[in-house]
Structure 1
């Protein structure tokens, strides 16, 4: 049986460019859809967050207004899995040797904590060094920013990937609030970004990196991950 580590933000807010805070966290669809698909495929899934404790779903990701007609479905899935969501591993306790892949769940929360977390950087460095799959989704690629080589160069410089685009941030209405945009920061650090039209399903593969553009790409990302893991 393959083992996958899903990493979720541990914060309940997002600090804007003006210093104010908005409720945030992980995006429920990006946990619910991959988790369901992977467990149904017989893959063992563990959860982790920076300090352990129960991660907070972005309130918008639980409603029809914020997440579309399936919002309540994702809210129910989160409630039904409150036992595992209530006790994720602290990232400081994660050993990459225990897993075959990691999936970084999005939402604005990762911009607040995963992007700067030293244990996030250590875990990613270990996975990359071991040639294991790293699968960031939507705002999850913000977590990639935590990993650097000795000397300060970004670990994933030159990688081709995707993530939540500037266009999607603008259409979501959060671009003016944001202290920085995921697409801009990834490009500035040296990533090669491949995106499609806003809200389209887009998966980009580059070696052991499999990335998804947005919440709509959650199922496709999980499918690619399952295919890779079951092929071995």
Structure 2
């Protein structure tokens, strides 16, 4: 075999290896912000919005990493830890699961080529650190443009607000989506604490927003963009990402 053919084979094997690795890996991203504005209350990620998609995907055979913006121990919203939730308990008991939140990867150090999907978990902390973060914008745009799946649940769609594709267009422009509603923000009496209305900002950036009633599961899938309205939608987001990933794997075989 001549050196040119050898190089071509090596390049093909490398590309195949990367594609296989990406096809089997999903990244869940959580907030690193722990303060609820100037209220003095603690916040962070909402645990069930991590654990429910995580369980769906790991049980389907996908490897799931967890990252935060700062890396290290990610802050949890204390209210989410007090929930009676069997999936949360499963996650916290698993020796391989909880350490991923206690020692989260730093998003800015990760290569989107190693993943085929990203899920932005919610929790009010995301409203402060997700929208303007350059790593969020660069990682998500690159993953989406390489054919990956972008998902977010509850306040997680705050990550989507300022993501621009190479065309210059916002990723969410003209896309059907959802996220934590104004009605739900008012119900938890935090509409004057959060820095902006997620529903309003998604709409102002060209997103075609829809919502169900208070605390009802509501899932919206528009191509490779998957969004869920609230914590009750977290499992549905995981199932939708799983379905898209499995469909992509079947298409590539």
SS at match of 1:142: helix
1:61 alignment partner in structure 2: 80
1:48 alignment partner in structure 2: 67
Asked if 1:74 is matched to 2:88, the reply is yes
Distance 1:43 1:164, change over 3 A: same
Query: Residues 39-81 of structure 1: CA distance to partner in whole angstroms, max 9, x if unpaired?
Result: 11111001111121111110011114xxxx42x8626734643
SS at match of 1:134: strand
Native 8 Å contact 1:10 1:53 kept in 2: no
What runs of 5+ residues in structure 2 fail to find an aligned partner?
1-22
TM-score by length of 1: 0.89
The total of aligned residue pairs comes to 224
2:6 alignment partner in structure 1: none
Distance 1:52 1:194, change over 3 A: same
Query: Residues 120-141 of structure 1: CA distance to partner in whole angstroms, max 9, x if unpaired?
Result: 0001110121121001111000
Distance 1:88 1:133, change over 3 A: same
2:182 to 166, 171, 180: 166
Of 134-143 and 76-85, deviating more is 76-85
**What's the C-alpha RMSD, in Å, of the aligned pairs?**
2.0
Structure 2 distance, partners of 1:193, 1:203, is: 11
SS at match of 2:100: helix
Structure 2 distance, partners of 1:101, 1:151, is: 21
Asked if 1:93 is matched to 2:115, the reply is no
What runs of 5+ residues in structure 1 fail to find an aligned partner?
none
Q: How does 1:1-232 map to 2 (within 5 A)?
A: 2-15=24-37, 19-64=38-83, 69-70=84-85, 74=88, 77-78=91-92, 80=94, 81-149=97-165, 154-231=170-247, 232=249
Native 8 Å contact 1:120 1:143 kept in 2: yes
SS at match of 2:131: helix
> Shift in Å at residue 192 of structure 1?
0.8
Instruction: Decide which structure has the larger Cα Rg and report it.
Output: 2
> Shift in Å at residue 179 of structure 1?
2.1
TM-score by length of 2: 0.82
2:10 alignment partner in structure 1: none
Following TM superposition, where does structure 1 have runs of at least 4 consecutive aligned residues deviating by more than 6 angstroms?
A: none
SS at match of 2:202: helix
